[in-house]
Amino acid sequence: ESRYNPVEIEEKWQQTWAEQGVDTTLTDPGKPKFYALSMFPYPSGNLHMGHVRNYTITDVIARVYRMRGYRVLHPMGWDAFGLPAENAAIARGIHPAKWTYENIAQMKAELRRLGLSYDWNREVATCSPDYYRWTQWIFLQFFQAGLAYQKEAAVNWDPVDQTVLANEQVDSEGNSWRSGAKVERKLLKQWFLKITDYAEELLQDLDKLSGWPERVKLMQANWIGKSVGAYLEFPIVGLDEKIAVFTTRPDTVYGVTYVVLAPEHPLTPKVTTPDRQQAVTEFITSLEGESDIERTAEDKPKRGIPTGGRAINPFTGEEIPIWIADYVLYEYGTGAVMGVPAHDVRDFQFATQQELPIKVVISPTQGEVPENLSEAYTEPGYMVNSGMFNGAPSTEGKQAIIDYAQSKGYGKARVQYRLRDWLISRQRYWGVPIPVVHCPHCGAVPVPDDQLPVRLPEDVAFSGKGASPLAQLEEWVNVDCPSCGTGAKRETDTMDTFIDSSWYFLRYPDAKNDEAVFDSAKTNDWMPVDQYVGGIEHAILHLLYSRFFTKVLRDRGLINFDEPFQRLLTQGMVQALTYKNPNTGKYIRTDEIADINQPTDPDTGDALITCYEKMSKSKYNGIAPLTVLGKYGADTARMFILFKAPPEKDLEWDDADVEGQFRFLNRVWRLVMEFAETSSEQETGNTKAEKDLRRAIHTAIKEITDDLEGDYQFNTAVSEMMKLSNALNDAQCKSSPVYTEGIETLLLLLAPFAPHITEQLWQALDHQESIHRQSWPVFDESALVVDEITLVIQIMGKTRGTIEVPATEDQALLEQYARDSEVAQRYIEGKEVKKVIVVPKRKLVNFVVSG
Q: Which residues bind ligand ANZ (CB under 6 A)?
A: 227, 246-249, 252, 262, 296, 327-329, 332-333, 335, 337-338, 340, 343-344, 416
| Of residues 292 and 677, the one with the C-beta less far from ligand ANZ | 292
Shorter beta-carbon distance to ligand ANZ: residue 302 or 507? 302
Residue closer to ligand ANZ (CB basis): 21 or 364: 364
Q: How far is the CB of 347 from ligand ANZ (least distance, A)?
A: 7
Nearer Cβ to ligand ANZ, position 340 or 668? 340
Please say which residue, 344 or 496, places its beta carbon nearer to ligand ANZ. Answer: 344
Q: Shortest Cβ distance from residue 484 to Zn ion (Å)? A: 3
> Alpha-carbon distance 549 to 526, whole Å?
17
The listed partner (Zn ion, ligand ANZ, none) that binds 179, CB under 5 to 8 Å by sort, is none
For the residues of 524-576, what is the DSSP string, one character each? HHHPSBSEEEEEGGGTTHHHHHHHHHHHHHHHTTS---S-SBSBEEEEPPEEE
Question: In angstroms, what is the minimal distance from the CB of 362 to ligand ANZ?
Answer: 8
Q: Is the peptide bond before 357 cis (omega within 30 degrees of 0)?
A: no
227 binds, among ligand ANZ, Zn ion, none (CB under 5 to 8 A by kind): ligand ANZ
Q: Count CB atoms within 10 A of the CB of residue 394.
A: 23
Q: C-beta of 98: minimal distance to ligand ANZ in Å? A: 47
Return the residue of 441, 649, 826, 834 that touches Zn ion, per CB under 5 A.
441
Query: Closest Cα to residue 662, out of 636, 639, 684?
Result: 636
- Measured CA to CA, the distance from residue 808 to residue 787 in angstroms comes to 9
Dihedral (Cα; 792, 797, 800, 804), 10-degree rounding: -10
Contact assessment for residue 741 and residue 694, using Cβ atoms and an 8 Å cutoff = yes
**Interface characters, 453-492, with Zn ion (x: CB under 5 A):** ----------------------------x-xx--------
Maximum Cα interatomic distance, the chain, rounded to a whole number of Å? 122
444/765 with CB nearer Zn ion: 444
Minimum distance from CB of 359 to ligand ANZ (Å)? 11
The residue among 598, 607, 762, 604 whose CA lies nearest residue 675 is 762
Instruction: Determine the Cα–Cα distance for residues 340 and 297; give it in Å rounded to an integer.
Output: 17
Among 199, 206, 439, 658, binds Zn ion (CB under 5 A): 439
Please say which residue, 304 or 309, places its beta carbon nearer to ligand ANZ. Answer: 304
CB of residue 229 vs ligand ANZ: minimum separation in angstroms? 6
Q: Which does 565 bind (CB under 5 to 8 A by kind): Zn ion, ligand ANZ, none?
A: none
> Could you say which residues in the range 279-318 bind Zn ion, by CB under 5 A?
none
Half-sphere exposure in the Cβ direction for 352 (13 Å, CA): 14
CA angle 163, 169, 171 (to 5 degrees): 120
N-term to C-term CA, the chain: 64
Q: Specify which residues 847 forms β-bridges with.
A: 795, 836
For residue 439, the partner it binds in ligand ANZ, Zn ion, none, with Cβ less than 5 to 8 A by kind, is Zn ion
Is 617 one of the annotated binding-site residues?
Answer: yes
- Any idea what the Cα angle at residue 668 is, between residues 703 and 764, rounded to 5°? 110
Query: Pick from Zn ion, ligand ANZ, none: which does 332 bind, CB < 5 to 8 A by kind?
Result: ligand ANZ
Which one of ligand ANZ, Zn ion, none interacts with residue 337, CB within 5 to 8 A by kind? ligand ANZ
Q: Which does 335 bind (CB under 5 to 8 A by kind): ligand ANZ, Zn ion, none?
A: ligand ANZ
DSSP letter (8 states) at residue 607: B
Interhelix angle for 737-750 vs 714-730, to 10°?
A: 160
Name which of ligand ANZ, Zn ion, none residue 247 binds, using a CB cut-off of 5 to 8 Å depending on partner kind. Answer: ligand ANZ
Segment near Zn ion (CB under 5 A); pick from 184-192, 413-421, 437-445, 829-837: 437-445
In this complex, which beta carbon is closest to ligand ANZ, that of residue 228 or of residue 785? 228
Q: Shortest approach of ligand ANZ to residue 380 CB, angstroms? A: 10
Decide: is 442 part of the binding site for Zn ion (CB under 5 A).
yes
Q: What angle do CA 57, 784, 846 make, to 5 degrees?
A: 130
CA dihedral 64, 68, 70, 74 (to 10 degrees): 10
Q: How many residues bind Zn ion (CB under 5 A)?
A: 6
Could you tell me whether strands 574-580 and 478-480 are parallel, antiparallel, or unpaired per DSSP bridges?
unpaired
In the bound state with ligand ANZ, the residue whose beta carbon lies nearer, of 333 and 469, is 333
Judged by beta carbon distances under 5 to 8 A according to partner kind, the member of ligand ANZ, Zn ion, none in contact with residue 442 is Zn ion
441 binds, among ligand ANZ, Zn ion, none (CB under 5 to 8 A by kind): Zn ion
- Residues 604 to 633: which contact Zn ion by CB under 5 A? none
Residue 398 or 538 with smaller CB distance to ligand ANZ: 398
In terms of Cβ atoms closer than 10 Å to its own Cβ (0-12, 13-18, 19+), residue 395 is exposed
Residue 753 per-residue DSSP state = T
**Beta-bridge partner residues of 577:** 612
Cα–Cα distances in angstroms (integers) from residue 196 to residues 140, 204, 419, 421, in the given order: 18, 14, 6, 6
CB atoms within 10 A of CB 627: 10
Q: What is the distance of C-alpha 42 from the center of its chain? A: 15
User: What does 427 interact with, of ligand ANZ, Zn ion, none (CB < 5 to 8 A by kind)?
Assistant: none
Q: Least Å distance between CB 445 and Zn ion?
A: 6
Q: Which is nearer to ligand ANZ, 227 or 520 (CB)?
A: 227
- Minimum CB distance to ligand ANZ smaller for 109 or for 345: 345
Which region among 91-99, 133-141, 435-443, 538-546 touches Zn ion (by CB under 5 A)? 435-443
Enumerate residues 6+ apart whose C-beta is below 8 A from 343.
Answer: 249, 252, 255, 361, 362, 376, 377, 378
Q: Is 129 exposed, middle or buried (0-12, 13-18, 19+ CB in 10 A)?
A: middle
Q: How far is the CB of 238 from ligand ANZ (least distance, A)?
A: 24
- The one-character DSSP state at 206 is G
To ligand ANZ, the closest distance from the beta carbon of 37 in angstroms equals 35
Tell me which of Zn ion, ligand ANZ, none is bound by residue 246, counting a contact when its beta carbon lies within the kind-specific cut-off of 5 to 8 angstroms: ligand ANZ
483 makes contact, choosing from ligand ANZ, Zn ion, none, with CB < 5 to 8 Å by partner type, with Zn ion
Spatial CB neighbours of 795, under 8 Å, sequence gap ≥ 6: 824, 827, 828, 846, 847, 849
Sign of CA dihedral 489, 495, 499, 503: positive
| Nearer residue to ligand ANZ within complex by CB, 406 or 604 | 406
The span of 111-119, 344-352, 438-446, 632-640 binding Zn ion (CB under 5 A) equals 438-446
Annotation: binding site: 617
Residues in contact with Zn ion by CB under 5 A are 439, 441-442, 481, 483-484
**Residues forming the annotated binding site for ATP?**
617
